[in-house]
Structure 1
């Protein structure tokens, strides 16, 4: 979701800077970029260590979620082509799963802005024991869709997410946004979601 369908990373980065100012910590843009695609609790542990603040990782996550959700409720920052691709996939009868390391309460404002049948299932970071880059989120999504992961195409904007999908056995279409994604066996690349449809999505092999 983050960075692929909606460009919430600037919201996260702003809220992280504000947290550092609030608690007298230190934070850099490089720190923010290091968190892109990560499991939220892993991010909370990174922030506690690198920001140097005396909060538990779960407390950090919850406070950041509250702040970023406020931004999203004011405006959902859609990535170019995202809603159009989802609508076309839905019209073509292609079942879609949303696989994100954000928590459900963070995802809900975006889901509220889409037709209710856009996603056949949603897997959030608080619904799996191990988040990205482990395969668990994508394995769960494929299972809920009733599909073999090898028949699924994952669209990702980070190397962390791409590794998660690859480990699950999915083909991965990489659409880099804020961070570069290295090339790898079986990784496909697109510059944008604009112009992509159910008929022309690239597939491996």
Structure 2
């Protein structure tokens, strides 16, 4: 029986930067990975040759790019909330939490992945979607959820947090590179992080995640062979 697993991020391409190989491995194993994006990335005009586009035109382009990446990664479903890029912390936070709760419950998610509290790089949108997702999971309104993971960050490491799960991207680098290339409008940002995509950069080799919450317990300390470990 397959397990519904949700990835909740801010922009198209976040899913590939942080978790492409994890998503693909889940899909290949018969699980049902789904993705919720808070924005369509309509403000990301400095990361490719797209400065001439309007926000609506860029949003449409990035939605198509996301569809292509989703097919590469094997995502079962992609949903966009359509909030304005760069302004998540200005939105009605109560309504925002309600929408994330609704997504989690519609898909009966058992496991949720999102950004860490610092957003990984202190991007306000990343920090906001982390906060909103955590509030949804901690609210008690999502009874299907058993685990929530954060992607690793320097802040978490400084706090003494260690990843519960590591995914080595080197064996599947061609897959991850193809999904990154699908987000062509953001190619400048992709190059800053991953180079020309001809080979897996050593400093970006692993997709690593910290178990932040498990059935009511914050920060359980454990190493896991699989995110599916200890599910009820």
Q: Fold conserved (TM > 0.5)?
A: no
Q: Identify which of structures 1 and 2 has the higher relative contact order when contacts are C-alpha pairs closer than 8 Å and 6+ apart.
A: 2
Structure with the higher strand share, 1 or 2? 2
TM range (shorter): 0.3 to 0.5
- Greater helix content: 1
What is the TM-score of this pair, normalised by structure 2?
A: 0.39
- TM-score, structure 1 normalization: 0.43
